[in-house]
Amino acid sequence: MKTFTRSQLQAIADALGDTDAGLTGSEIGHLLATVKIVDTLDAAV
């Protein structure tokens, strides 16, 4: 399984967490689905 470095993970979190200029929830969900990562927010609904 591929893993991220701490700095890579921080960069991803920063990009996803930018609510002013970042992605919408549906855009994030689409990207997660594209790389086969379960969207836990979507799964909770």
User: Could you read off the pLDDT of 15-29 as tens digits, one per residue?
Assistant: 878 878 878 888 888
- Establish if 26 belongs to a structural domain: yes
- Establish if 29 belongs to a structural domain: yes
Helix (H) or strand (E) holding 32: helix 25-34
Instruction: Evaluate if pTM is beyond 0.75.
Output: no
- Establish if 1 belongs to a structural domain: no
- Establish if 14 belongs to a structural domain: yes
- Establish if 23 belongs to a structural domain: yes
Q: Which domain holds residue 28?
A: 6-44
Which pLDDT belongs to residue 42? 65
Which pLDDT belongs to residue 8? 92
Which pLDDT belongs to residue 43? 59
Q: Give whole-number Cα distances, 16 to 20, 24, 26, in Å.
A: 10, 9, 12
**Overall number of domains in the chain:** 1
Q: Are residues 13 and 19 in contact, defined by beta-carbon separation less than 8 angstroms?
A: no
